[in-house]
Amino acid sequence: MPWSMKSSSRVFRGCRILVGFLFLASAWVLPAQQTYNEPWRPQFHFTPPKNFMNDPNGLVFYKGEYHLFYQYNPQGTEWGHMSWGHAVSRDMLHWKNLPLAIAEVPGQYMIYSGSAVVDWHNASGLCATADSGDSSCLIAVYTAAGANIQRQHLAFSNDRGRTWKEYAGNPIADLKQPDFRDPKVFWYEVQKKWVMVAVLADERKAVFFDSRDLRNWTFRSSFAIESNDKGQWECPDLFRLPVDGDSRNKKWVLIVNRNPGAPAGGTGTRYFVGSFDGAHFVNETPAGGELWADYGKDFYATNSFSDLPEKDGRRIWIGWISNWQYANREPTAIWRGAQSLPRELGLAQFPDGIRLVQKPIAEAKALRERAFLELSNVSVPMAIEAMHVANVRGEALEIEAEFSGEAKEIGFRLRKGGNEETLLGFTPENKEVFVDRTRSGLVSFAPEFSGRYKAILRQNSRLRLHAFLDRSSLEVFVNDGELVLTDRIYPSPGSDEIELYSDRGTGKVHSLSIWKLGSTWH
């Protein structure tokens, strides 16, 4: 869902960012064949062809296609007129843009966030049975957001998501509240029923419903925590995962996206680990412990795929790479907003409890065009020299590295050029891994943008990094996904050098591999 509608029609002021607009202006006159090659346009993350995008919606796999719906303004580059944009893919990386899926009803309601499922056996009675005997169809459940009321609506598609019809009996769920939104629907096999989790956003409360037919829903329970915090819960999700891959030991994970209140400031993704009986979620996370899925500044409004094939066995989600502190002011032209790499989720047992772990989907390896270098068991000075000889540079890279040693700080200078650089570093003494974008390029468009964002490791003897650098984003998976940091950056054209650094050249590089990644759009 949406931005909380409070806000921010501030415009760019001052000559500090004039230079950014000068070279951005060139994007408006690029030849048609160069679309998706504008300044800062991600080359392997999904972005809309034009206009504003935020939350991923309705992620679902159906008949060989991954569907990505998303919050979309078809009329401009700031939040408004929210509708569902649509794209499909065969691998979750190469996306084909499709026409608008579900549009706002002007003067009545906008289309806020929600989910999509496959109604395999026509439980809804809305699927048109084909000559082949296939009685399945796609069902979308989303928030119809009016001026002072938010209700849950249903739409259905009998042509693989290409066109949608609104259910005549809408709304399907109505608590007569102004902040009741973001329904996530899934099949609960134990009781052979559908479950919906939504939120009362301003009350920071998750609410649970169930249904046999996707059209008639019964309220079952709510979940909240003791807290004096302000802000909202948005975009909930609920799924079950094995702990350390053990199918006999599974836990439920309740996701609530928080606006504001995240560790890095502004928006972020929080989660709870516990149990679910089809009606009630019980939190088993010790009181006072806040669990966050990402410690960067830009990961929000997550949504996980429904109906992945059983043989696949993965839980995969996507998040919006931005922050409501400045989402309407990001300095891109034509388009605004990006989605994360799809990530595979798991649970792992650590000394302090069960925690969510994430890793890029295996399909991402297909993005590798060529290896710049591959090193093992060398000193930092040797690795620095090898990177220099290999002339490692680029706008779209994948980096895998493992460090240890007595260095006060060790890491990478990314997208370096002139006075610009984004630091991805590790300080063993403080057990911190961090992204510092203070001098990453254009930062003056919003006072909340510049900063150093960190996460605390459980140990400091050894660090494994797996980073994906795109033209305007950085996603870092730390120690096999134990921690993740996601951040937007806006470096100048030509700032594409990559350097390894360490104070006094100390430390050991156990392994280092860097690949140039190809574009999924060209």
Catalytic residue set: 55
Amino acid occupying residue 188: Y
Report d(CA 417, CA 413) in Å as an integer.
Answer: 10
Distances (CA, A) of 52 to 77, 78, 170, 337, 449: 4, 5, 27, 6, 19
User: First CA to last CA across the chain, in angstroms?
Assistant: 31
**Alpha helices (H) in 54-126, listed in sequence order:** none
Report d(CA 104, CA 170) in Å as an integer.
Answer: 15
Q: What tokens were used for 439?
A: 């001098």
**Residue 259 DSSP SS3:** strand
What residues pair up with 150 in beta bridges, in sequence order? Answer: 145, 177
| Residue indicated by tokens 């099949």 | 187
- Burial label for 322, CB within 10 Å (0-12, 13-18, 19+), is buried
Report d(CA 303, CA 55) in Å as an integer.
Answer: 8
Q: What tokens were used for 245?
A: 């891959």
Report d(CA 258, CA 272) in Å as an integer.
Answer: 13
φ, ψ for residue 32, nearest 5 deg: -55, -35
Residues 223 and 206: beta-carbon distance below 8 Å: yes
293: left (phi over 0), alpha (psi -120 to 50) or beta: alpha
Report d(CA 477, CA 448) in Å as an integer.
Answer: 24
The Cβ-side half-sphere exposure at 303, using a 13 Å CA radius, reads: 33
Residues 139 and 119: beta-carbon distance below 8 Å: yes
* Neighbouring residues of 107: CB distance < 8 A, sequence distance ≥ 6: none
Q: What tokens were used for 408?
A: 């006060």
